[in-house]
Amino acid sequence: MSTKMMLMANSLTHVRPLTCAAAAGSRLVPQPPDLIKWVKSEGGFVHKSVQIAQGDSFGLGLVASEDIPKGSDIIALPQHIPLKIGSLEAETSLDAGAHSALIKLAQHVPEELWAMKLGLKLLQERAKKGSFWWPYISNLPETYTVPIFFPGEDIKNLQYAPLLYQVNKRCRFLLEFDKILKHELENLKPDDHPFGGQHVDSSALGWAMSAVSSRAFRLYGSKRPDGTRSNVPMMLPLIDMCNHSFDPNAEIVQEEENRNRNMLVKVVAGRQIKQNDPFLLNYGCLSNDLFLLDYGFVIPSNPYDCIELKYDAALLDAASMAAGVSSPKFSSPSPWQQQILSHLNLDGQNSDLKVTLGGRELVEGRLLAALRVVLSNDEETVQQHDLEALKSLTVEVPLGTSTEVAALRTIVALCVIALGHFPTKIMEDESLLKQNVSPTTELALQFRIQKKSFIVDVMRDLSKRVKLLLAKESAP
């Protein structure tokens, strides 16, 4: 066995608990092949100023060694370089048995965990001697700072129930999928084994899922018979080393080559990029929950962050009373109010009781409309407005100032209750951050500080709106 294959086998069969600490920085092999040279050798284009360098916030990334004008091509990958599943059934291979086994395994993965499907392909290529993608795979991080690899104590340190639920859900899936793999692969012939006979445990599955979720892009795939293109997750060697920013200086585009109709994946400068600037892409307008779950980092003052709440009648009654409403009716709405709640999918069978504060809306429209309707006793006035108007915070006092003030104060009270569910305060967390804590503890602290700070910001915004409404009401 070659040195490269020994390293790969050792890494794949090394047993590591799902909740082990992840140390960032190291790659799969100590001295991996030159990724830029490999991309060029395979017919790709890399701008002469592109360099791989260690960044301050996100580890390794790409930087410009000289100024690059707006509109310049930075990287271009021909269609055979991205690592993707594509249509698994349509792929042909000499390893037909192994390919068939991989398809069968992928069918056990729920769509919401699509990263695991591509992760199976990644593990197959990692285990394959002489894999075309080895120069790329060997450059991948050995570990990831996502919560499924946090020590148990640091998972608890996140302190936010919706994220804890998602972390535990992923961990449970990986443990169950580990059992499925053992069952599906135990009686396969060596030539039919998708991972070359190597043992793949839940830790290796977690590594693959994390590698894909933190690096893959959803782009156009092959053309369908009707001329449209499928949406395919794919890993983009070198391109995926561009780090994230909500103010990116580059963007991914796809275009067909005229001579052979091949689809190129390119990174193009969205504005002038100056010497020593990092190349930055926007990974998406995501909450810190998703950034931490999938990428292993937290964005300070993330404008797209949000908190999840449950539309719970008893909780809303308590919040309204705390806000000064004498007899709220969330637990016993009138029939006409109940009908509107049903239209908002907040009442009845199969209702969706998860509501949010933040994100694209300061207050989710369904929650705002429900509060306005239930806190109003004027059916005639309510019926004069359509649901879209009642769901919009920009439509000021549609049901009158007193109802609006009661609704906003109820949301502020919900925020106070949400803050109370965190066992520590922001100042305590900030004090802990100043101590010599582990990288995963630091991430957990940063996450919960940002979540609490976000809740405080929502409270301030809504309280300011209440003051303005009351000032207008009392003005002569």
Domain match, 230 and 319 both: no
Q: What is the mean pLDDT of the chain?
A: 88
Q: What is the pLDDT of residue 29?
A: 86
Domain match, 56 and 186 both: yes
Domain match, 309 and 259 both: no
Residue whose pair of structure tokens reads 């004090």 in the numeric block = 431
State the CATH number of the domain containing residue 339. Answer: 3.90.1420.10
Q: In angstroms, rounded to a whole number, what is the distance separating the alpha carbons of residues 433 and 441?
A: 9
Domain match, 230 and 138 both: yes
Condensed to tens digits (0 to 9), the pLDDT of residues 347-397 reads 988 999 999 999 888 999 999 999 999 999 899 999 999 999 999 999 889
Q: What is the pLDDT of residue 220?
A: 78
Q: What is the pLDDT of residue 474?
A: 81
Contact 119, 144 (CB under 8 A): no
User: Could you tell me if residue 297 is inside a domain?
Assistant: no
Q: Which two tokens stand for residue 9?
A: 């086998």
Domain match, 160 and 258 both: yes
Shortest CA distance to 11 belongs to which of 106, 91, 127? 127
State the CATH number of the domain containing residue 178. Answer: 3.90.1410.10
Domain around 453: 304-472
Contact 138, 31 (CB under 8 A): no
User: Does residue 215 carry a pLDDT above 70?
Assistant: yes
Q: What is the pLDDT of residue 475?
A: 73
Residue whose pair of structure tokens reads 């580990």 in the numeric block = 178
User: Could you tell me if residue 94 is inside a domain?
Assistant: yes
User: Could you tell me if residue 359 is inside a domain?
Assistant: yes
Q: In angstroms, rounded to a whole number, what is the distance separating the alpha carbons of residues 151 and 175?
A: 16
Domain match, 91 and 174 both: yes
User: Could you tell me if residue 288 is inside a domain?
Assistant: no
Q: Look at the pTM and tell me if it is higher than 0.85.
A: yes
Domain match, 277 and 356 both: no
Condensed to tens digits (0 to 9), the pLDDT of residues 401-452 reads 999 999 999 999 999 999 999 999 999 999 999 999 999 999 999 999 999 9
Domain match, 233 and 328 both: no
Structural domains in the chain (count): 2
Q: What is the pLDDT of residue 88?
A: 40
Q: What is the pLDDT of residue 473?
A: 82
User: Could you tell me if residue 417 is inside a domain?
Assistant: yes
Domain endpoint, select from 249, 283, 317: 283
DSSP code string of 122-148: HHHHHHSTT-TTHHHHTTSBS---SGG
Domain match, 331 and 367 both: yes
User: Does residue 16 carry a pLDDT above 60?
Assistant: no
DSSP code string of 197-233: T----HHHHHHHHHHHHHHEEEEEEEEPTTS-EEEEE
Domain match, 249 and 330 both: no
DSSP 8-state class, residue 275: T
Domain endpoint, select from 283, 317, 344: 283
Q: What is the pLDDT of residue 129?
A: 87
User: Does residue 8 carry a pLDDT above 60?
Assistant: no
Residue 211 main-chain phi, psi, to 5 deg: -60, -45
The average pLDDT across 107-122 equals: 94
User: Does residue 242 carry a pLDDT above 50?
Assistant: yes
Domain endpoint, select from 251, 283, 315: 283
Q: In angstroms, rounded to a whole number, what is the distance separating the alpha carbons of residues 367 and 292?
A: 26
User: Could you tell me if residue 124 is inside a domain?
Assistant: yes
The average pLDDT across 149-174 equals: 96
Condensed to tens digits (0 to 9), the pLDDT of residues 293-336 reads 999 999 999 999 999 999 999 999 999 999 999 889 999 999 99
User: Could you tell me if residue 9 is inside a domain?
Assistant: no
What confidence category does residue 260 fall into, taking pLDDT thresholds of 50, 70 and 90? low
Domain match, 398 and 277 both: no
Domain match, 267 and 345 both: no
Q: In angstroms, rounded to a whole number, what is the distance separating the alpha carbons of residues 362 and 458?
A: 7
Q: 157-161, 191-195, 201-205, 338-342: which has the minimum mean pLDDT? A: 191-195
Q: Which two tokens stand for residue 211?
A: 């590698």
User: Could you tell me if residue 290 is inside a domain?
Assistant: no
